[in-house]
């Protein structure tokens, strides 16, 4: 779910990414991969265009620093007790663009 606001040379936005609890990958494979809890994370971002050449984007992904794992993100996908590999915590980023 995403919400954006744009003005003439700047903008703001936020996005919520989420997944429900899951406990399987594929009915045909008959492989059990264990259960993964549901999760939701909040991302925020903004941008500013200085002129026709330069623009700046800044944001934070997983703003609330939620610990979560994608369902199939495990150290050994075929082992249901294998260690889940968590997604990154809060990530702050900055991007400067020059268009010629």
| Domain range summary for the chain, segments of one domain joined by + | 2-98
How deeply is 71 buried, as exposed, middle or buried, from its count of CB atoms within 10 A (0-12, 13-18, 19+)? Answer: buried
State the pTM of this model.
0.78
Give residue 55's pLDDT band: very low, low, confident or very high (50, 70, 90): very high
CA distance 23 to 61: 26
84 within 8 A of 72, measured Cβ to Cβ = no
pLDDT, tens digit, 9 for 90 and up, residues 56-88:
999 999 999 999 988 877 777 666 666 778 899
d(CA 76, CA 87): 16
What's the pLDDT at 70? 84
Q: Which two tokens stand for residue 40?
A: 């939701």
């Amino acid at each position: 779910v995403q919400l954006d606001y744009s003005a003439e040379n700047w903008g703001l936005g936020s996005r919520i990414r989420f997944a429900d609890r899951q406990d399987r990958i594929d009915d045909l494979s008959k492989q059990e991969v264990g259960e993964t809890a549901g999760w939701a994370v909040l991302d925020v971002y903004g941008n500013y265009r200085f002129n026709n050449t330069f623009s700046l984007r800044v944001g934070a992904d997983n703003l609330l620093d939620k610990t979560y794992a994608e369902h199939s993100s495990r150290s050994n996908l075929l082992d249901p007790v294998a260690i889940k590999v968590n997604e990154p915590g809060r990530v702050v980023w900055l991007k400067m663009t020059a268009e010629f």
